[in-house]
Copies of this chain bind each other. A is one copy, B any other.
Amino acid sequence: MISDPAPPGAVPPSEGSPGTLGWQGIRDVMMDRIRARHYAPGALIPNEADLAAEFGCARATVNRALRELADAGFLDRRRKAGTRVIAEPRRKATLEIPLIRAAIEALGAAYSFRLLTREIAPPPPEVRMALRLEDDGPLLHVVTLHLADAVPHMVEDRWVVLATVPAIEAADLTRDNPNEWLVRNAPYSEGTMRCGAALAGAMASHLGCTAREAVLVVERATWLDGAPITLARQHYAPAYGLTLAL
């Protein structure tokens, strides 16, 4: 049962004698106190020196525990104003982005792909806008169909900025697919990703479904220190969804 405030004085204990808790143990005790409302939402918690004295440990150990709770969205740490319990925690979900090959093999299926299009062409306006390109010089345009046990899984329409990644022009993308080549050769420092839904439309023939089925669309754009690398739009087969960890 949760959500009943703890009675006054019922501090979740720090268990064991002082000094026996590592930073993980201190983190867990502090989390219990936040959940039990021993520290009220929005309230200041004791300072690090007082907590170190209570737990019988170094201040650095308390600091490590509080940093974890701040990263997890439960505490707001301000250098001078002290540390408060976040009243309305903003939680995060995390998506592991594996290679497409690894994602399909993790489903227990055999992976294969077909390079459907490979051309050097001027990017359409929406690609220029998404990658914030300043000129309309030609990019590498590749369309790849990824299959699981020879059944269409996802079709990827990708534009690659040759000025940033010139080596891809010489790569044999029928051997290393564009997704794998870029993961191995073009690390990014920042990017955006959008998950939405669309009717399969023109992608239906690739995905082996009808144009009127709903499919998940994932669009990713990446940069390396401000230099645009690639924009990829992925249409997944109907009924496929992405799973995130909370």
Residue contact B212 to A212, C-beta cutoff 8 Å? yes
Residue contact A220 to B246, C-beta cutoff 8 Å? yes
- The stretch from A17-25, A148-156, A159-167 touching chain B is A159-167
Q: Separation in Å of the A50 CB from the closest CB of chain B? A: 24
Residues of B within 8 A of A183 (CB): 88-89
Residue contact A196 to B216, C-beta cutoff 8 Å? yes
- Scan residues 196-246 of chain A and give those whose CB is less than 8 A from a CB of chain B: 196-199, 212-217, 220, 222, 224, 227, 236, 238-246
Residues of B within 8 A of A199 (CB): 213-214
- The stretch from A90-98, A107-115, A116-124 touching chain B is A90-98
* Bound complex: CA A195 to CA B196 (Å): 8
Residue contact B244 to A193, C-beta cutoff 8 Å? yes
Residues of B within 8 A of A196 (CB): 197, 216, 239-242
Residue contact A2 to B224, C-beta cutoff 8 Å? yes
Residues of B within 8 A of A192 (CB): 243-246
* Bound complex: CA A95 to CA B195 (Å): 11
Contact of A246 among B3, B168, B193, B197 (CB under 8 A): B193
Residue contact B95 to A93, C-beta cutoff 8 Å? yes
Residue contact A186 to B220, C-beta cutoff 8 Å? no
The reply to whether the CB of A126 lies closer than 8 angstroms to some CB of chain B is no
Which residues of A are interface residues toward B (Cβ below 8 A)?
A: 1-4, 34-35, 41, 74, 87-99, 102, 163-168, 180, 183-188, 190-199, 212-217, 220, 222, 224, 227, 236, 238-246
| Cβ-closest 10 pairs across A and B | A196-B241, A191-B246, A197-B197, A214-B214, A197-B214, A93-B95, A193-B244, A3-B185, A3-B167, A197-B216
